[in-house]
Amino acid sequence: MVLSFALGAFAVVPPEVWARGPDICLWKHLFGLAACPACGSTRALAAFFHGHLAQALAYNRNVMVTGPMLIGLLTQDVISGIMKLWEK
């Protein structure tokens, strides 16, 4: 359920809106780093779920793994939900 809401938020809210939000990178704030390997992931996932793949890769290349993985997890969740309905 939480995953569905998160993916829904990525699909509905454009990456430009996410980019205007606060910088929530813990590593930047704790250690004063310029960026960490996860920086830009939220914007990248929003761009990915809007179908802007080049923009998604520009924000964070990890989206090549996390985007399809989230689609797989959501698909698995939907299938298991349907199977539970059939078992009743």
Binding site for Zn ion (CB under 5 A): 25, 36, 38-39
* Residue whose beta carbon is closest to Zn ion: 25
Distance CA 30, CA 85 (A): 46
Select 43 or 70, whichever has its Cβ closest to Zn ion: 43
Q: State the CB neighbour count (10 A cutoff) for residue 15.
A: 21
Distance CA 42, CA 10 (A): 8
To the nearest whole angstrom, how small is the minimum distance from the Cβ of residue 33 to Zn ion? 7
To the nearest whole angstrom, how small is the minimum distance from the Cβ of residue 54 to Zn ion? 21
